[in-house]
Amino acid sequence: MTDTKTRSPRSKSSSKTNWFRLGAAALAIPLVAALAGGLLVALALILANDRLPPLDAMLDYRPRIPLRVYTADGQLIGEFGEERRTFVHIEDVPAVVKNAVLAAEDARFFEHIGVDLVGVARAALVNFVAGGTEQGASTITMQLAREFFLSSERTYTRKIVEILLALRIEDNLSKEQIFELYLNQIYLGKRSYGFAAASQTYFGKPISKLTAAEAAVLAGLPKAPSRFNPMVNPKRAIERQRYILGRMHDTGLLSDADYTAALNQQLVFMPAHADYPVHAPYVAELARQLAFDLYREEIYSAGMKIYTTIVSEDQRAANEALEQGVLDYDRRHGFRGPERMLDLPADAAAAEDVVEASIGDSDDIGRFLAAVVLEAAPRRVVVSRGRGSSIEITGDGLKFVAAALGERAPAARRLRRGAVVRIVDAGKGAYAISQLPEVQAALVALNTTDGSVRALVGGFDFERNKFNRVTQAWRQPGSSFKPFIYSAALEKGFMTSTVINDAPVLIDPARTGGQLWDPKNYDGKFEGPMRMRTALAKSKNMVSIRLLDAIGPQYAQDYASRFGFDPERIPPFLTMALGAGSVTPWQMARAITVFANGGYRIEPYVVARITDINGRLLASAHPGQAGDESLRAIDARNAFLMDNMLRDVVRMGTATRARVLKRNDLAGKTGTTNDSIDAWFAGYNPRISAVAWVGFDQPHKLGDRETGGGLALPIWIDYMATALKGAPEQETQAPPGIVRVDGEYYYAETQPGQGIASLGVSEDGVAAGADADLIRNQVF
């Protein structure tokens, strides 16, 4: 019998039981670990929840609203503060903006509890696969928590705190309140916080005026404000915009027609250096200084508003007039040469690296864009602005620099590879080579009734030089000061018909405050005896000197102070007759206005009122008014006679160019200083007075043929063409005490007690007094 080995038989049920036990044990380990981990997380959450920051900053939301400065008609011209903010209530936010934000950031915002569990799960899966933190699944509430309380670091710990804060926020605020805070608090680039501020920054319009296409651009910014900035990265910004528009369309927030229209809309962004609808930086800075004097540092965060006296249309006209005047002068005097030279390597890629490292957007000044010449030939120039771009300039775009192209051009002015130049948009996709003007100019315009400043431009470019030439530039007024000498002469008894000799004079050094003086007329000609009226119209220097000599320089200095001039800056010497003192355009505008309004000195002012964030009045101006006898500077008869003579300056004198305006109510005086260093025109009609000045900050000759009539007057004309458009002509009526005889005006009689030392003239035009005939016909 053969022995056989046998095994104890196993039943199927026993085998299954063992496998089940092994599987259960294997599953138990991660479950226990997960449970333990969950308990630890829960404990961490409880501990973290107790240490969360309070929500006071949200519950009592007080955003740092900057100081804002506006024109008289409500156009924004400046903001001052670290952050650009405009608080807007949720009910005032248009639906298209809300929908764009929801589509871009949190489509389930009104459904979740502050944390979108679906989104969290999706993000967790993506992050697990990627092995990092590629997605954050942040809801609007979580973003708001991060914006108020957390840093931008990406860690799981911070995400847990962010979630807890979001839950707490949702427990304390309604969805509408949370959404309102988000729309006002989120950062959108260019110092702009909130969608209302961003709407002005990027599109120059209030949030209520945004289209779907524009709203989608702004809605794309919270994800990455710099990456999707339409001014810096337009391609990325448009890609993001189209994605958001697609989301709005897919979710039914945009109809087919609106979606198509949004895709096809041509977007127009605010220019990089023009963040405000009206460009008036010198005015805004004046307003800021006044507010700071009153309220100190509070102005930068309390949301105050300053309303100036500036008229938007007038300010735009002043900007354009001044810019055109400066550019015309600059073109007449030719291309000065490259701003500097760069050493560009021969390799194209390496050359572009040098260009990018050397110039950027910050080097652009207004519409004058910085560029580097890559190739230069007489009929073709290629420039680069970096970032791999090149611009070919030909034809009219080279006219200004034609003389600087080619081997024969002077070395200092020649355009060649590596030259840093300025280019300007010439329209229709073309560019022209230009240059930054060195000459400066200023213009200020006043309402003649109360002194309110209608327009003020303190220089060619505020960003390059913030020096305000209207209020800060002390310059010689030249012949534009002569009206005040003539007015003093009228006060002393001279008449507009008094004959004075236009003949050479030689002045002793003791009477000039310096050396022997042999003055000349501008044209070098002497015309002999002529009436005061004619002499002023022709700006005859010899006549002014003789007048000043007759009335006395000390008297003229005292008299000039009636117009607001500083006597210490107007030395009492005969050189005063030709404007040898120092004045500012602001002072000159105040002074010339006295002749326009009948003899009243009114103080110019630029701030009308200041309000708090709620519109409550904090301060307001109380200007003087022409007609208030306490403000009288000169006799009404004197003002009338001066006005009448100054109209002759426009009718037949040095300012006849102003006749292009086809008005008979214009008056003023040109001014050109020795060696043509300063050019002026101070003029007015009965409603508006304005002063234009042109010169260099470091005084030197403008050019042998440059005058006030050729430089400053055209700026004044271009401004007045807009300021007086549609305004009826205003004739000035002679006041009591003035008679007209043979086409000339005279004082009717002496007015005792009024400080008028003039000789009387009777109703029939015959002078009264022992010396009447002598004075009336005297040749000085």
Among all residues, which ones are annotated catalytic? Answer: 105, 479
Please answer whether residues 134 and 127 qualify as being in contact, where contact means their C-beta atoms are separated by less than 8 angstroms. Answer: yes
CA nearest neighbour of 762 among 731, 734, 736, 741: 741
Quick one: which H or E segment has residue 329?
helix 312-332
Quick one: which H or E segment has residue 530?
strand 528-531
Please answer whether residues 329 and 706 qualify as being in contact, where contact means their C-beta atoms are separated by less than 8 angstroms. Answer: yes
Query: Tokens in use for 238?
Result: 């448009």
The type of residue at 81 is G
- Which CA distances in Å does 181 have to 59, 365, 413, 572, 732? 10, 36, 57, 65, 59
**Residues forming beta bridges with residue 517, ordered by sequence position:** 507
Please answer whether residues 67 and 79 qualify as being in contact, where contact means their C-beta atoms are separated by less than 8 angstroms. Answer: yes
CA nearest neighbour of 328 among 714, 680, 690: 714
Task: Please state, in angstroms and rounded to a whole number, the distance separating the CA atoms of residues 457 and 465.
Answer: 12
What burial class does residue 720 get, using C-beta atoms within 10 Å of its C-beta: 0-12 exposed, 13-18 middle, 19+ buried?
Answer: buried
Query: Tokens in use for 102?
Result: 């929801």
Which residues make Cβ contacts (< 8 Å) with residue 430, sequence separation at least 6? 393, 395, 396, 397
SS3 688: strand
Count Cβ atoms below 10 Å from residue 553 Cβ, excluding itself: 21
- Which CA distances in Å does 398 have to 62, 381, 392, 405? 55, 8, 11, 9
SS3 65: strand
Let me know how long the chain is.
Answer: 780
Task: Please state, in angstroms and rounded to a whole number, the distance separating the CA atoms of residues 584 and 577.
Answer: 17
The type of residue at 288 is R
CA nearest neighbour of 478 among 575, 587, 356, 597: 575
Task: Please state, in angstroms and rounded to a whole number, the distance separating the CA atoms of residues 176 and 180.
Answer: 6
Task: Please state, in angstroms and rounded to a whole number, the distance separating the CA atoms of residues 321 and 198.
Answer: 31
CA nearest neighbour of 91 among 207, 200, 211: 207
Quick one: which H or E segment has residue 218?
helix 212-219
**Residue 324 CB-half CA count within 13 A:** 14
Please answer whether residues 779 and 529 qualify as being in contact, where contact means their C-beta atoms are separated by less than 8 angstroms. Answer: yes
Please answer whether residues 291 and 306 qualify as being in contact, where contact means their C-beta atoms are separated by less than 8 angstroms. Answer: yes
Task: Please state, in angstroms and rounded to a whole number, the distance separating the CA atoms of residues 511 and 517.
Answer: 9
How far is C-alpha 517 from the geometric centre of its chain's CA atoms? 45
CA nearest neighbour of 199 among 222, 217, 223: 217
Quick one: which H or E segment has residue 373?
strand 369-377
Q: Helices 156-172 and 175-185, interaxial angle, to 10°?
A: 120
Query: Tokens in use for 129?
Result: 């696969």
Count Cβ atoms below 10 Å from residue 649 Cβ, excluding itself: 27
Start-end of H helices in 455-604: 482-491, 532-538, 541-551, 553-560, 585-596
Query: Tokens in use for 282?
Result: 């010198």
How far is C-alpha 463 from the geometric centre of its chain's CA atoms? 9
Please answer whether residues 657 and 713 qualify as being in contact, where contact means their C-beta atoms are separated by less than 8 angstroms. Answer: yes
